[in-house]
Amino acid sequence: MAPATLASRTMLSRPRLFSTTTARCRQAKLPAALEERVSNALAAMRAGGTFKAERVITTPQSASIAVQGAAGAVVNFCANNYLGLADNAQVVARAGEYLRAWGNGLSSVRFICGTQTIHKQLEDQISAFYGGGSGERDTILYASCFDANAGVFESLLTERDAVISDALNHASIIDGVRLSKARRFRYASGSAQDLDAQLRAAHEAGCQTKLVVTDGVFSMDGAIAPLREICDVVEQHGAVLLVDDAHATGFLGPTGRGSGEYWGVMDRVHLVNSTLGKALGGASGGYTTGSPLLVSMLRNTSRPYLFSNTLAPSVVGAAAAALDLVAAAATREPLLARLWANAARFRSRMEAAGFALAGKDHAIIPVMLGDARVAARMAERMLAHGIYVIGFSYPVVPKDKARIRVQLSAAHTPAQVDAAVDAFVAVGRELGVVS
């Protein structure tokens, strides 16, 4: 057969790569039952006021931002940008340097061909941040703290083991626990006494390893978990303690090491999961840090680590710069001083104005309003006053415990904090919340 003939025959038998009919952007038809159920569920959310409409920000994340639908700039009190590093010049610059030096991404998971020098460096930097001496601590990076929580329980526990979880733990912990075969126990939030009872129950059920897990800070309440009492109970039972410090890493405790440092128990916590997406630059990424033995197991068996892409170099650079800023006293101390001065200023002025506030010693300060409609209305009116806050209601918080969660940042100026208080007072009077 002549080569030309072969080529033309091959061409003819090859399936077409592109349809010749006009491309129409039409969705495939859904089965009626699914369509109906989902439409009804969404309608119920709209009717119940729980449908989430996203507000679109038209500027970088910062203390002062612009949002679609609001005239002029608004002061942002609902980001987890505790240290104001989300748009910090050094953080952004380092992200750019890493992007140019190391490329956009790895197109691989870590264990195939997705580990660069910078990933090992960031893991070591995080270990050092927690005071890990050589061989005493290791750290494993994830695409998010959600992933760290999704992987840790299944990887480390078997059906012979138990997880004892605080009743108010973050959704990602709940999901991670569901993925493991371990027996599940739940203790009343922050109660060392109930933790003790649940650990006894796990012991009586014949469970071998007992892993206790708690948020270091409960983000709806701004409450710090009582880790000293928890450590005492954990040690009495020979259990293992995992703390999720997403709302503490970088700023809680004298040098920002988190809830363990706040309570002076860093050396009694076996594992910490945390995020790079809140105080530490606000991009994305998470990690587990602690026992090298357990971290080695995670690297080999944790599914979100094994089967999801490596952290992008720019994100690694941003986190490294944020950690540098927090690790050095000269840059850390002014940031922490501003954050805690802002939190104290907001709390004392709001209390003086007659508002009921929750939480203690944290930059999350919930303004307790009770009624969901009041919380939603208040948040809406606050925006008209140039203050961006969000109302939280059932099912995110208990029924009749609706609130506006205010989050202070080192990036706020005292004048911005005062403006928030003034707006709360004006709107609070308007709605009859304060007199």
Ligand X SMILES: *Cc1c(COP(=O)(O)O)cnc(C)c1O
Q: Which is nearer to ligand X, 286 or 290 (CB)?
A: 286
Among 62, 76, 144, 407, contact with ligand X (rule: CB under 6 A): 144
| DSSP count for the chain of H helices, then E strands | 16, 15
Which tokens is 374 given? 């009041």
Q: Which is nearer to ligand X, 62 or 284 (CB)?
A: 284
Among 138, 215, 221, 261, contact with ligand X (rule: CB under 6 A): 215
Would you count residue 428 as binding ligand X (CB under 6 A)? no
Among 123, 196, 221, 244, contact with ligand X (rule: CB under 6 A): 244
In angstroms, the CA 340 to CA 410 distance is: 8
- Kindly state the smallest distance separating residue 124's Cβ from ligand X, in Å: 20
Q: What residue has token string 């609130």?
A: 403
- Closest by CA to 269, choosing from 285, 288, 297, is 288
- Phi, psi (degrees; rounded to nearest 5) at 398: -60, 155
Q: Which segments of 72-208 are extended strands (E)?
A: 73-76, 138-142, 162-166, 183-187
96-135 footprint of ligand X as x/- string (CB under 6 A): ----------------------------------------
Which among 29-37, 60-68, 142-150, 341-349 is the span making contact with ligand X, rule CB under 6 A?
Answer: 142-150
- Kindly state the smallest distance separating residue 269's Cβ from ligand X, in Å: 15
- Phi, psi (degrees; rounded to nearest 5) at 224: -90, 130
For 280, half-sphere exposure in the C-beta direction (CA atoms, 13 angstrom radius) is: 35
Would you count residue 247 as binding ligand X (CB under 6 A)? yes
- Kindly state the smallest distance separating residue 26's Cβ from ligand X, in Å: 34
Q: Which is nearer to ligand X, 286 or 391 (CB)?
A: 286
Give, as ranges, the residues between 275 and 334 that touch ligand X (CB under 6 A).
275, 277, 286
Which tokens is 335 given? 């940031």
DSSP state of 252: S
Would you count residue 161 as binding ligand X (CB under 6 A)? no
- Kindly state the smallest distance separating residue 307's Cβ from ligand X, in Å: 16
Q: Which is nearer to ligand X, 262 or 355 (CB)?
A: 262
In angstroms, the CA 280 to CA 323 distance is: 7
Give, as ranges, the residues between 168 and 187 that touch ligand X (CB under 6 A).
170, 172
Strand, helix or coil for residue 397: coil
DSSP secondary structure, 17-40, as one string: SS-SSPP---PPPPPHHHHHHHHH
For residues 274 and 259, is the Cβ–Cβ distance under 8 A? no
Does the annotation count 247 as an active-site position? Answer: yes
Q: Which is nearer to ligand X, 363 or 427 (CB)?
A: 363
Which among 239-247, 295-303, 308-316, 331-339 is the span making contact with ligand X, rule CB under 6 A?
Answer: 239-247
In angstroms, the CA 158 to CA 206 distance is: 13
Which among 26-34, 177-185, 243-251, 377-385 is the span making contact with ligand X, rule CB under 6 A?
Answer: 243-251
Q: Among the options 278, 362, 401, 412, which is catalytic?
A: 278
Does the annotation count 219 as an active-site position? Answer: yes
Distances in Å between the Cα of 68 and the Cα atoms of 45, 73, 338, 370 are: 23, 10, 29, 28
- Closest by CA to 168, choosing from 145, 186, 182, is 186
Number of residues located near ligand X, criterion CB under 6 A:
14
Which among 240-248, 357-365, 371-379, 411-419 is the span making contact with ligand X, rule CB under 6 A?
Answer: 240-248
For residues 129 and 279, is the Cβ–Cβ distance under 8 A? no
For residues 212 and 239, is the Cβ–Cβ distance under 8 A? yes
Among 82, 102, 130, 146, contact with ligand X (rule: CB under 6 A): 146
- Kindly state the smallest distance separating residue 384's Cβ from ligand X, in Å: 29
292: Cβ contacts below 8 Å, ≥ 6 apart: 135, 136, 137, 138
- Closest by CA to 361, choosing from 262, 275, 274, 273, is 262
Does the annotation count 360 as an active-site position? Answer: no
Which among 25-33, 153-161, 241-249, 323-331 is the span making contact with ligand X, rule CB under 6 A?
Answer: 241-249
Would you count residue 260 as binding ligand X (CB under 6 A)? no
Q: Among the options 170, 210, 247, 362, which is catalytic?
A: 247
Would you count residue 145 as binding ligand X (CB under 6 A)? yes
Would you count residue 81 as binding ligand X (CB under 6 A)? no
Pure H helices in 79-116: 89-102, 110-113
Residues at the interface with ligand X (CB under 6 A) = 144-146, 149, 170, 172, 215, 219, 244, 246-247, 275, 277, 286
Residue positions annotated with a catalytic role:
219, 247, 278
